[in-house]
Structure 1
Amino acid sequence: MTASEPHPEDTAKDPAPDLLAPARLGPLTLRNRIIKAATFEGVTHNALVSDELIEYHRRPAAGGIGMTTVAYCAVAPEGRTERHQIHMRPEAVPGLRRLTDAVHAEGAAVCAQIGHAGPVADPVSNRLPALAPSRYVSRAGLRVVRAATPDDIARITRAHARAARTAVESGFDAVEIHLGHNYFASSFLSPRLNKRKDGYGGSLANRAKVARGVARAVRDEVGDEIAITAKLNMDDGVPGGFWLDESLRTAAWLEEDGSLDALELTAGSSLLNPMYLFRGGAPVRDFAANFPQPLRLGIRLVGDRFLRAYPYQEAYLLDSARQFRAALTMPLILLGGVADRETAERAMAEGFEFVAMGRAVLREPGLVDRFAADRAAGRETRSLCIHCNRCMPTIYSGTRCVLVDPEPLRTRR
């Protein structure tokens, strides 16, 4: 059996929800059950909204998506992966309001992904220290990343609440809390990265305090004014990292806490194994082209040790996600290889409330409208995305599908 085939133990008696019909997400009603996943856009000059960023999200909104997700809105300046990213602050609100107005004008909802990059942050670019659960030497630049203090944890938790309030003021319909990919909260969950001896280390209950505390702080701040979702790793994809059994327990705690309206299931480590999430091609040469010599040559020679290639198949995270669907009652968002309409409808049949799509919508912003047209005509819908992942290195000049848009809208200065 492949991940894309129906599961023989699926005994749901209720009819599957209609993928293209309106659906509730907390206090929000989406026009359909398809969400544009958070994919870093690479066009936030000076850490503020640009016209390119607005267009990036307007296009899938015009193409029928239920909700588009703006990535990545850091909750603090040092929590950015690089200094051009937006961090949530009063100066960002006017631009964010222009963006949300543009998306709403096309009939879609809009979500802000909020989080702190922690050890994934670039301290050289940010000119601020990166933070991790425990002190370690980063492979990126061979710099020491310092351990977060309890005061840092409290400050970052409060910053998530303030970021959610800023999202409300900016007209967002939802926030997605980033608890994955070994960013700050996720790094605390990881036994490999978290070697602390205090109340934030050791047992899973201790390691989950940051993730649970952040989600609680956001809910306490905004209540039901907007929808609140979170992106949680099912596993880190690295030896000694956060794994499925601990993720299931953490997800159950998050459900018990009542802080979230839905959970989006993800995998992989931006710090240690980024391609584990994406699957498909590993464009090492394309990445190398963005760097000067001799770094370019080094990446071409040994980059495949970090950018490991994994074979692509439709719904490649579904096998793991099924275990969460069986254990939880809260709404779940299926991510990972959802590119064709039949795959998305299969997810509905297996009990998932929403699907999230990234590369397929980047390749074809009007894909959801094509879902509807093809279904009305009795045709299958196959995404045009070939999963080459050559979109990934374009984050340095404006994220795009190079097969459609070989040149960026504007080269970032």
Structure 2
Amino acid sequence: MASDLAAAPDVLEPATLGPLTLRNRVIKAATFEARTPHALVTDDLIDYHRAPAAGGVGMTTVAYCAVSPGGRTGGEQIWMRPEAVPGLRRLTEAIHAEGAAVSAQIGHAGPVADARSNKAKALAPVRFFNPIAMRFAKKATRADIDDVMAAHANAARLAVDSGFDAVEIHLGHNYLASAFLSPLINRRSDEFGGSLQNRAKLARGVVMAVRRAVEKDGAGRIAVTAKLNMADGIRGGITVEEALTTARWLQDDGGLDALELTAGSSLVNPMYLFRGDAPVKEFAAVFKPPLRWGIRMTGNKFMREYPYHDAYLLRDARLFRAELSMPLILLGGITNRESMDLAMTEGFEFVAMARALLAEPDLINRIAADGTRHSVKSACTHCNRCMPTIYRHTHCVVTGAPG
């Protein structure tokens, strides 16, 4: 292990991501902030991202910058339009002043979108009922699909105008592109259904639309990454084998500078990504009856509990590292220097963390001050009671940060 560690890159040293040089290899993963009540940047949102930037991360990720009004999981989320640019510029300037880079997570929520809150029709591969919104998503037509691809390109151009250093395309969690990839959800019989090659057309088309947009308007100054499900954790959903094939295609297409590996379904099995305690009671309390009662009675089926351990997505991620040459970002259970170093020895170029930085925005500075002694432990208890706070004001209920 000592020789492997000596040969691996230092996670806290500068690293290149496409055209960028980040001050280290640690990325704050996208986590919806619930700090944009009018779908625009607020001082509260800026402070939320300024904290981990000042706390030492190489890059923070703003979530969620939907590509259209109907692509949001809720009506308070930012959607990329000219009106949003001045606030986004204030945000990127504040992060740059702390020495960090900043990425915009762009995407379309598809069947996860809350049509009632958005006051806009949701899209899905087929007509699909969202129990949170109590609305049906419509089956996307070819014109809808073309519009979604164009909207991603437009969002990327606006990200360039806003001073972002990178965009992360959301291809996971059964959002629209992921829903098309899923054989369980995508029951279409046209050119976007059936074979994996057909089901992957939206994801691949979106990535290349974004790449063309940033090459034209970003003059190569902005990195393009994507978040891709390795598995949905659902019988009949996306499997590791199919995800590996999709990842190879994305690599061969040449549209990405790095790929972040994720898992789970926001629709059916969210805890497959989060691991640890399932906060059913707290989650139910967010909603009004009768949905509250339904979650209390059946929530353990929706929020299945998986035991937590450090680097819990590494087993599947190793398969992608063995097959792919492109830079990969390891997510899931990265909370300390030991798990970061493990990722480096396993050949991953970057690590991403969310809950640990929610609990302690200055965690990276603490780890850096500790050196390689591995004595710094995260305050995150993996209770996941932060999850329901994304509907009101995202924060850690244990430490109170970033409050």
> How far apart, in 1, do the equivalents of 2:296 and 2:252 lie?
47
Q: CA deviation at 1:380?
A: 2.3
Q: CA deviation at 1:14?
A: 8.4
Structure 2 unaligned spans of 5+: none
Q: 2:244 aligns to what?
A: 248
Is 2:112 aligned against 1:120?
yes
Tell me if structure 2 keeps the 8 A contact 1:342–1:381.
no
Q: 1:388 aligns with which of 383, 389, 394?
A: 383
1:279/1:311 contact within 8 Å kept: yes
CA spacing shift, 1:14–1:370, aligned 2, 3 Å:
closer
> Residues 10-409 of structure 1: matches in 2 within 5 Å?
15-223=7-215, 224-375=220-371, 378-405=373-400
The alpha carbon displacement at 1:12 in A equals 7.4
Q: Alignment partner of 2:38: what SS?
A: helix
| Partner deviation per Cα, 1:369-393 (whole Å, 9 max, x = no partner) | 01111116x3522211110001111
Separation in 2, partners of 1:289, 1:218: 39
CA–CA separation in structure 1 for the residues paired with 2:351 and 2:281 = 31
Paired letter, 1:201: G
Displacement of 1:146:
1.3
| 1:151/1:14 CA distance change after superposition, 3 Å | farther
Are residues 220 and 398 of structure 1, via their aligned partners in 2, closer, same or farther at CA, if it must alter by over 3 Å?
Answer: same
Which amino acid in 2 is paired with 1:84?
E
- Per-residue CA deviations over 1:305-364 (Å, capped at 9, x if unaligned) read 211111101011000000000000000000011111101111001100000000000000
Task: Provide the rounded CA distance (Å) in 1 between the counterparts of 2:44 and 2:82.
Answer: 21
Query: 1:107 & 1:225 partners in 2: Cα distance?
Result: 17
Moved runs in structure 1, 4+ residues, more than 4 A?
11-14
**TM-score, structure 1 normalization:** 0.94
Aligned mates of 1:289, 1:139 — CA distance in 2:
16
Count of aligned positions: 398
Counterpart residue type for residue 99 of structure 1: L
Distance 1:136 1:298, change over 3 A: closer
Q: What do you get for the CA RMSD once the two structures are aligned?
A: 1.6
Deviations 1:269-288 (A, max 9, x none): 10111111000111111112
The gaps in structure 1 that reach 5 residues or longer are 1-5
Quick one: distance in 2 between partners of 1:137 and 1:106? Answer: 43
CA contact (8 A) 2:337 2:374 kept: no
Larger mean Cα displacement after TM superposition, 215-224 or 283-292: 283-292
